[in-house]
Amino acid sequence: MPPDMHMSRWRNFASSGVAAGIVSLGVTLLASWLANGVPPRALLAIPADPRVAVALLASVALVGLTSRDTPFSWRRFANFAIFAAAASAFALLAIAGVRTGAFGAMGVSQWVAVSAGLVLVFFASCLGLVQAVARSGWTLLEPEQIELLRERARLNVLSATAIAALGLALIVLSLAGPESVLPPAAALAGALVLLAAATVPSVAAWRLMDELDRTLTYETGNLSFYLVLLLGGGWATLAHLGFIPAAAPLDWLTMLAVISFPATYIAAGRRRLLSK
């Protein structure tokens, strides 16, 4: 790699990392103030907490590393800030829902399933929102991003619908059971309807995909199998040997619902499709 390119990658890493640090710190302080009523004076002590400091450093490193090939721009900074604020607001609402008992009495498996379902719904909403922004031609997006989003509008809307339905199905299933808010029969009916609502747009999306999309989908499926084998198989092995408790059926459903998302990132990353 030429020295000037090496330097520019470091500049991109530093500028994007610092921007991520500022946004993450701002969001953390705002969330602490809004959710826990931490007085403004005590807020300054929060970044000194080792756990918060590690999380902030992780955010800086992650954003810096993933942005090292892309120069800093205020437009990207604004996009990142909006996304971070929306994600935080969504997370705060979810935490408030759990704390106030809106989801009924919840065990760890249910809590994890509801959280995973909410994350899926959040990402689907973001995808829908970005699509709407591209349609409106709002200047927050790069012109080439707008063009790409417009080209793939139907595919993205179908994908967002499928992801949202899958997330909602997970939430509905996790809300069923003793001391929970949904009776099992109603949850089963709801989950079946939502799984159909996830399957139909997925099939329609498949028909709109070109060969690169389909290749990535095959690779994602392949990787998902090995991730389930690794995580689920590892868990089952340890549980069989008595080291840890066995996975609940809901844990398996959560794993199966979300495993394709890290697999998608790995598949795209292996082909260097996540960088420009």
Partner 1 sequence: MKNRLKDMREAKGWSQGELARRLGVSRQTINAVETDKYDPSLPLALRMAKLFGVAVPELFIDRWEPEEE
Provide the binding-site residues for partner 1, judged by CB under 8 A.
Answer: 147-148, 151-152, 210-213, 215, 271-273
What the block records as the tokens of 67 is: 């942005």
Contact call for residues 205 and 131 (beta carbons, < 8 A): no
Shortest CB 276 distance to partner 1, Å: 9
Question: Of the two residues 207 and 272, which places its CB atom closer to partner 1 in the complex?
Answer: 272
By beta-carbon proximity to partner 1, the closer residue of 41 and 272 is 272
Cβ neighbourhood burial of 179 (10 Å; 0-12, 13-18, 19+): exposed
Closest to partner 1 by CB, 85 or 148: 148
- Cα separation, 269 vs 274, in Å, equals 6
For 249, residues 6+ apart whose C-beta sits below 8 A from its C-beta are none
Q: How far is the CB of 154 from partner 1 (least distance, A)?
A: 12
Q: Is 131 within 8 Å of 156 (Cβ atoms)?
A: yes
CB of 143 to partner 1, least distance (A): 12
Nearer to partner 1, 139 or 215 (CB): 215
What are the φ/ψ torsions at residue 16 (nearest 5 degrees)? -70, -40
Number of helices and strands in the chain (H, E): 11, 0
Q: 29, 23, 88, 20: which is closest to 60 by C-alpha?
A: 20
Rounded Cα–Cα distance for residues 216 and 20 (Å): 29
Nearer to partner 1, 49 or 147 (CB): 147
Letter for the amino acid at 226? Y
- In the DSSP assignment, the letter for residue 43 is H
Comparing CB distances to partner 1, the nearer of 165 and 205 is 205
Q: How far is the CB of 198 from partner 1 (least distance, A)?
A: 23
Nearer to partner 1 by C-beta: 196 or 273?
273
As measured in angstroms, the least distance from the Cβ of 149 to partner 1 is 11
State the nearest-atom distance from the C-beta of 152 to partner 1, in Å.
Answer: 7
> Minimum CB separation from partner 1 for residue 118, in Å?
29
| CB within 8 Å of 103: residues ≥ 6 apart | 97, 110, 114, 174, 175, 180, 181
Closest CA to 64 of 18, 99, 95: 18
